[in-house]
């Protein structure tokens, strides 16, 4: 089933008294280790740089600027993804950087405004939420990230940016950064944390397993029975749904493009107030020459523009197989794990999951958070069940 398959490895938020005492002991021990490392050069006389994690298996000290938390690995990580030199204390730091925001649709990608399997090329604007890129991340120079998070300046908080490849041309003074390699033109003032360094191989975030889950989730949603109707032509698309819980529309990509036309267009949605809207856009598998047109100039739900509207968190575009997607600013989340997205400017609110992203779209932070139980999407026993349990013994 598509519910979190790692429940056996996650820790309940209520820690018992013994664990609280243990956490204090661990924090004290590593505070002493940090002082030893700073003033006496660390293991084998090695002086560690600011915010660098030392992972020599023969050494005993670990120096990070974050506090150490005695929590388990998050479900998208497994102990096998870490070198044998990675200690439990380092794993807990990784866990804290990832965060624990989760839902059945996006898994742990739910905690990110933009989540890519491959490269992410940001050309301008800013991001109100967190970003994770499985490949390289190239910024526009100065880039304000995660600015809508009131806790972004907490040195012990979640990473505002996670990069599985190389971080290039990126300057910021806000939030923690977790990267595999630090490339050229990087700076992070205000003493924020950088886990990793040049060729450090420190980012062990398991993007591959995460995207396997996301593809299963997308396929599952696409298989749900549609209960809404649609029509459109000449740059106007109208969707009508009548369910008070979940309204599902399933439309072929070529039909959608035909209704939308070649340029910007208007999307009008009429559904019961507060209901969830799932738009499945199918087809396009193996067609690299046709892009899905999501570059709408207006999106209206029940007569109101969906700009800074609570209904934004109820709208999800699930794109199953389009090779590329073109977007302009609109509100609503996009689950497109098989698609490369080109962002054409303006402002977008909602989660974006895709293979790669390139553009100067301003990214807001209004995640998919529908007011219904995930069971309404029939997450449970079904044909898309995947066994992703892994042995987390170290």
Give the tokens for residue 210.
Answer: 């995460």
* Alpha-carbon distances, residue 300 vs 55, 307, 365 (angstroms): 52, 9, 19
Confirm if 52 and 90 have CB atoms less than 8 A apart: no
What is the reported pLDDT for 187? Answer: 58
Is the pLDDT at 372 greater than 70? The verdict is no
In the chain, what are the domain boundaries?
Answer: 7-98, 210-377
Q: Which residue has the higher pLDDT, 195 or 105?
A: 105
Q: What is the pLDDT of residues 125-175, one digit of tens each?
A: 889 899 999 999 998 887 888 877 766 666 667 888 888 888 888 776 656
Confirm if 329 and 345 have CB atoms less than 8 A apart: yes
Is the pLDDT at 386 greater than 50? The verdict is no
Residue 175, burial from CB neighbour count under 10 angstroms (0-12, 13-18, 19+):
buried
Q: What is the pLDDT of residues 96-120, one digit of tens each?
A: 677 888 888 998 899 999 999 999 9
Judged by average pLDDT, the poorest of 219-228, 296-305, 315-324 is 296-305
Is the pLDDT at 6 greater than 60? The verdict is no
Q: What is the pTM of this model?
A: 0.72
What is the reported pLDDT for 186? Answer: 61
Confirm if 62 and 30 have CB atoms less than 8 A apart: yes
Distance CA 250, CA 226 (A): 6
What is the DSSP code (8-state) at residue 51?
Answer: T
* Alpha-carbon distances, residue 302 vs 248, 268, 299, 376 (angstroms): 16, 8, 10, 22
Confirm if 281 and 256 have CB atoms less than 8 A apart: yes
């Amino acid at each position: 089933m598509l519910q979190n398959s790692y429940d056996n490895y996650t820790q309940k938020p209520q820690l018992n008294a013994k664990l609280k005492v243990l956490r204090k002991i661990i924090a004290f021990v590593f505070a002493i280790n940090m002082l030893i490392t700073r003033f006496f050069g660390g293991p084998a006389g090695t002086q560690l740089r600011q915010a660098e994690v030392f992972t020599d298996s023969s050494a005993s000290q670990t120096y990070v600027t974050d506090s150490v938390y005695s929590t388990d690995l998050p479900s998208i990580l497994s102990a096998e993804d870490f070198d044998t030199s990675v200690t439990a204390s380092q794993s807990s730091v990784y866990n804290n950087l990832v965060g624990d925001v989760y839902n059945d649709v996006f898994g742990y990608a739910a905690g990110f405004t933009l989540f890519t399997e491959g490269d992410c090329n940001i050309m301008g604007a800013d991001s109100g939420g967190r970003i994770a890129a499985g490949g390289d991340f190239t910024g526009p120079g100065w880039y304000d990230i995660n600015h809508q998070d009131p806790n972004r300046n907490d040195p012990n908080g979640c990473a505002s940016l996670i990069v599985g490849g190389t971080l290039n041309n990126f300057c910021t003074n806000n939030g923690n950064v977790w990267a595999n390699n630090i490339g050229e033109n990087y700076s992070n003032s205000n003493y924020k944390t950088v886990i990793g360094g040049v060729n450090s191989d420190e980012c062990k975030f398991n993007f591959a397993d995460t995207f396997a889950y996301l593809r299963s989730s997308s396929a599952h949603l696409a298989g749900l029975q549609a209960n809404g109707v649609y029509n459109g032509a000449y740059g106007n698309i109208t969707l009508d749904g009548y369910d008070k819980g979940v309204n599902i529309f399933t439309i072929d990509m070529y039909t959608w493009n035909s209704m939308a036309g070649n340029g910007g267009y208007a999307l009008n949605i009429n559904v019961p107030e507060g209901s969830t809207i799932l738009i499945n856009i199918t087809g396009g598998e193996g067609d690299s020459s046709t892009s899905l047109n999501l570059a709408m100039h207006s999106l209206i739900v029940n007569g109101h523009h969906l700009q800074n509207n609570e209904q934004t968190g109820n709208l999800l575009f699930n794109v199953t197989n389009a090779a590329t997607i073109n977007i302009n600013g609109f509100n609503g989340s996009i689950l497109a794990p098989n698609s490369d997205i080109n962002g054409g400017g303006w402002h977008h609110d909602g989660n974006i999951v895709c293979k790669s992203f390139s553009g100067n779209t301003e990214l807001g932070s209004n995640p998919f958070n529908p007011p219904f139980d995930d069971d309404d999407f029939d997450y449970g026993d079904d044909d898309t069940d995947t066994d992703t349990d892994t042995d987390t013994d170290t």
